[in-house]
Structure 1
């Protein structure tokens, strides 16, 4: 059967992939966080951006656990920071958010298979290689969320979510400490390691 409304009203904000890993310490505080964007379309073009908090409770963090952005499109970085990441409390509320250094991503590589047991994203820049590893996948879920159900509170979002039961953030060969926590997405409990595919954010039209 065709959809009642075959064209979703509103303005496309961006579309692509948006996997992430959030690790916690024994006290339940975030010990390391990574959010990766592979954007297929946005008003400022395509690109790949990794936001890494190796030390979320610090402004900069040491070299082995830095707070940094790796990106191959600076305009996209600025767009995402202003229009999306700044609305995510866990990331925007970190001490280093306003002063995150940005370095150029020289290579980005995907490996593994989200239908198998392991999937990775590896992002490399001058003197820094970050590997994100997801393992132990749950069944995928197709999401269609309204503004009150998403962290930004502003857009409609469509996506395929594949949660993982195990994950690592590896910086220059060293795994950052921490374990996965739980979170609630669209009313069901999942983990703080997730793959989002075919993710599209749409700004709803103004009320008539």
Structure 2
């Protein structure tokens, strides 16, 4: 049976993958935050971008826990920061947001199986290797969310969510401290470690 509306109205903002890991300390504050983008289409082209807050409560991180962006497309980094990440309060309100240094990603490598137990993304820049690891993966959920249900508050979003019940952010071979928390999206309780595949953000006609 065909869909009632086979073409979604609006302007495609970007589409791709958008996994993340948010770790918390014993007091419930963020101890490490990582948000990765593998963009298949955007107005400024394709690319891969990692935003890492190894020290979320500081303007500058340390060598062991840096605040940094790794990217293979600087124009995409700027586009995502201005049009998307700046609307995510947890990331935009961090002290380092406006002054994040950007390093060129020399290697971006995916391993594991999102249908299995473990999945990872590894990015390498000059003097820095960051590995994001998701484990204890859960069955996927297909999401279709309206602006009031997404963190940006502006777009419609379609995605496949694979939650993880365990995760690590590893910097130069060392895991950053912290534990996963819980979060609620569109009434569904999940964790702060997530794989988002086939993620498409659409600006509704009334906002475009």
What SS does structure 1 have at the residue aligned with 2:57? coil
* Alignment match, 2:106: 106
Shift of 1:193: 0.1
Question: What pairs up with 1:98-177 in 2 under 5 angstroms?
Answer: 98-177=98-177
RMSD: 0.6
CA distance in 1, matches of 2:100, 2:61: 10
CA distance in 2, matches of 1:138, 1:206: 36
* Alignment match, 1:199: 199
* Alignment match, 2:83: 83
CA distance in 2, matches of 1:124, 1:23: 21
Shift of 1:136: 0.4
What SS does structure 1 have at the residue aligned with 2:34? strand
* Alignment match, 1:20: 20
CA distance in 1, matches of 2:187, 2:172: 37
What SS does structure 2 have at the residue aligned with 1:49? strand
CA distance in 2, matches of 1:60, 1:2: 52
CA deviation digits over 1:67-102, x for unaligned, max 9?
000000000000000000000010001000000000
What SS does structure 1 have at the residue aligned with 2:148? helix
Shift of 1:27: 0.3
Structure 2 residue 170 is matched with structure 1 residue 186: no
5+ residue gaps, structure 1, are: none
CA distance in 1, matches of 2:181, 2:50: 21
Q: Structure 1-normalised TM-score?
A: 0.99
CA distance in 2, matches of 1:173, 1:135: 17
What SS does structure 2 have at the residue aligned with 1:7? coil
CA distance in 1, matches of 2:4, 2:137: 33
Question: What pairs up with 1:58-73 in 2 under 5 angstroms?
Answer: 58-73=58-73
CA deviation digits over 1:160-205, x for unaligned, max 9?
0000000000000000000000000111110000000000000000
CA deviation digits over 1:131-173, x for unaligned, max 9?
0000001110000000000000000000000000000000000
What SS does structure 2 have at the residue aligned with 1:98? helix
